[in-house]
């Protein structure tokens, strides 16, 4: 992209992000100049006040539940609906992650959940190259490794906007992506999920995509901190160990995350990776205070939502869910047994192993983000003709552009 067009693109890019980018990092400077937009602190103040008010009415059990997001299949059968009602009524969960299913049933679940919780729920999906990765009936997009050579920031921004449109139509408000892992070797287990081997290009494409997602009113979540690009070991099965020195880790793996944080974007997912340069005890990153509180929050200054990777993965085996909250996470994703994980967290609070302040802080932040994207105000919608609305001419145009050489 030539410099003059890059400057013009940046001006256009920031304009729709006044609410998203300026509010996503509480306390961050606004994304635009005062001449371009109103002071965004008004909406953040309003969001914090609502979060404080909502939290003040919650029991300790309710506050703990807000920090859990179990995974469920996108199926509207009786068993799934009963499971969801139990998650909300008994565990007070703050959201769910949708697994495989259909577009229509995902929308039905989202509408059903909208009436279950007074604070609303995050409806998240792990759809790294489009909703079709999880939901039948959704438009198909190329995986990140197959993007055409002409893919640039403007194209990725439009792709993110399209993804947000499809998510909103389906009732989804959080996208577990983009993948910002830098893959330098064919041995990497991340493989085609990555934008490539150049950390600068990975950052350019991923940040532009995430800006598009968030300008469309959906939260983005960059993953898998502090970088899953180098290990050949699959953290779904066991714990990978990253032996990189600090210099390589900082210049390669952390670079796209740093750019994402500087852009004021909303979420980071911490992986199940042992990083010896940061934590000499080699704990999974999501369970490691030096990685989460020390590096991501302390050294890199991230103030958005910190999510774990799924706790039912082999890389997190042997660790209680509350350990992630102790390390600095705000949301625990997909524990193997949600009820048991919530109960053990409450026990850790009661015996003083886990501080109540950490839960209060995380709950307040979760509620803050819910207010920002209107989760608390969402109501069921008419979903007739959903597949046709999602598979629109806009989707077809993005598909064509992403595959162009």
Alpha helices in 239-385 (DSSP H): 246-248, 254-262, 289, 321-327, 338-350, 356-372
pLDDT score, position 329: 98
Q: How far apart are CA 209 and CA 263, in angstroms?
A: 12
At residue 116 the predicted structure's pLDDT band, cuts being 50, 70 and 90, is: confident
Find, among 232, 315, 314, 223, the residue nearest to 269 by Cα. 223
**pLDDT number for residue 7:** 38
Residue 103 pLDDT greater than 90, yes or no: yes
Report the pLDDT value the prediction gives residue 385, as an integer from 0 to 100.
79
Q: What is the pLDDT of residue 391?
A: 87
Q: What pLDDT digit, counting tens, does each position of 336-364 carry? A: 999 999 999 999 999 999 999 999 999 99
Q: Which of the two residues, 116 and 18, has the higher pLDDT score?
A: 116
Residue 78 exposure: Cα atoms within 13 Å on the Cβ side: 0
C-alpha pair distances (Å), 129 with each of 96, 113, 209, 311, 387: 20, 25, 11, 22, 18
Residue 9 has pLDDT above 80, yes or no: no
Which position has the higher pLDDT, 39 or 21?
39
**Cβ-contact 373, 218 below 8 angstroms:** yes
Which residues have C-beta within 8 Å of that of residue 337, sequence separation ≥ 6? none
Instruction: Provide the pLDDT for residue 232.
Output: 67
> How do residues 289-310 score in pLDDT, each as one tens digit?
999 999 999 999 999 999 999 9
Please give the Cα distance from 197 to 137 (Å, whole number): 32
User: pLDDT grade, residue 379 (50/70/90)?
Assistant: low
CA atoms lying within 13 Å on the CB side of residue 220:
33
The structural domains of the chain, ordered by start, are 36-376 (3.20.20.300)
What pLDDT is stored for residue 148 in this prediction?
A: 73
236 is catalytic: yes
The single-letter DSSP state of residue 78 is H
Would you say residue 5 has pLDDT above 90?
no
Residues 97/71, Cβ–Cβ less than 8 Å? yes
| pLDDT at 97 > cutoff 80 | yes
- Among residues 126, 181, 309, 330, the one annotated as catalytic is 309
What's the pLDDT at 220? 98
pLDDT at 37: 42
35: helix, strand or coil? coil
**Alpha helices in 265-355, H assignment, sequence order:** 289, 321-327, 338-350
Choice between 290 and 403, residue whose per-residue pLDDT is larger: 290
Q: What is the pLDDT of residue 193?
A: 87
Q: 124 or 11, which is more confident?
A: 124
Query: Which DSSP category does 179 fall into?
Result: B
In tens, the pLDDT along 232-255 reads: 677 888 898 988 899 999 999 999
The percentage of residues in the chain with a pLDDT greater than 90, rounded to a whole number, is: 69
Q: How confident is the model at residue 102 (pLDDT cuts 50, 70, 90)?
A: very high
Q: What is the pLDDT of residue 380?
A: 65
Cα 314 to Cα 361: distance, rounded to the nearest angstrom: 28
Q: Which two tokens stand for residue 139?
A: 């438009």
| Residue-level pLDDT at 114 | 84
389 is catalytic: no
Percent of the chain exceeding pLDDT 70 equals: 88
**Strand spans (E) along 19-159:** 68-69, 71-74, 95-102, 122-125, 135-136
Q: Measured between alpha carbons, how far is 382 from 378 in angstroms, rounded to an integer?
A: 13
Q: Which pLDDT band, with edges at 50, 70 and 90, does 151 fall under?
A: confident
Asked whether residue 323 carries a pLDDT value surpassing 80, the answer given is: yes
pTM of the model: 0.89
Sign of CA dihedral 134, 139, 140, 141: negative
Q: Which whole number is the average pLDDT over 66-91?
A: 95
């Amino acid at each position: 992209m030539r410099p003059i067009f890059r400057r013009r693109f940046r001006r256009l890019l920031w304009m729709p992000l006044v609410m998203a980018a300026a509010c996503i990092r509480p306390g961050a400077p606004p994304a635009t100049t005062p001449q371009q937009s109103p002071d965004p602190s008004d909406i953040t103040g309003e969001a914090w006040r609502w979060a404080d008010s909502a939290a003040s009415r919650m029991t300790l059990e309710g506050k703990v539940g807000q920090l859990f997001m179990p995974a469920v299949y996108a199926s509207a059968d009786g068993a799934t609906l009963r499971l969801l009602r139990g998650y909300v009524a008994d565990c007070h969960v703050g959201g769910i992650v949708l697994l495989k299913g259909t577009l229509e049933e995902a929308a039905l679940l989202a509408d059903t959940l909208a009436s279950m919780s007074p604070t609303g729920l995050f409806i998240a999906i792990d759809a790294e190259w489009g909703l079709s990765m999880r939901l039948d009936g959704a438009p198909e997009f190329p995986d990140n490794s197959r993007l055409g050579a002409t893919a640039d920031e403007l194209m990725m921004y439009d792709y993110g906007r399209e993804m947000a449109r499809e998510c909103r139509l389906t009732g989804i408000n959080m996208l577990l992506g983009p993948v910002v892992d830098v893959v330098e070797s064919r041995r990497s287990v991340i493989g085609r999920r990555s934008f490539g081997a150049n950390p600068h290009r990975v950052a350019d494409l991923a940040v532009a995509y995430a800006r598009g997602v968030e300008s469309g009113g959906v939260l983005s979540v960059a993953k898998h901190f502090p970088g899953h690009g180098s290990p050949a070991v699959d953290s779904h099965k066991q714990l990978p160990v990253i032996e990189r020195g600090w210099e390589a880790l900082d210049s390669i793996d952390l670079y796209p995350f740093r750019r994402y944080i500087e852009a004021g974007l909303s979420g980071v997912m911490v992986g199940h990776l042992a990083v010896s340069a940061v934590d000499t005890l080699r704990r999974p990153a999501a369970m490691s205070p030096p990685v989460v509180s020390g590096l991501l929050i302390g050294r890199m200054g991230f103030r958005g939502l910190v999510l774990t990777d799924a706790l039912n993965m082999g890389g997190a085996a042997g660790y209680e869910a509350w350990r992630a909250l102790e390390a600095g996470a705000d949301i625990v994703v997909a524990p193997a047994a949600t009820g048991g994980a919530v109960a053990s967290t409450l026990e850790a609070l009661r015996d003083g192993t886990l501080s109540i302040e950490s839960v209060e802080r995380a709950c307040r932040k979760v509620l803050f983000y819910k207010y920002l994207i209107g989760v608390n105000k969402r109501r069921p919608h008419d979903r007739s003709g959903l597949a046709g609305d999602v598979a629109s001419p806009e989707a077809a145009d993005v598909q064509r552009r992403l595959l162009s050489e």
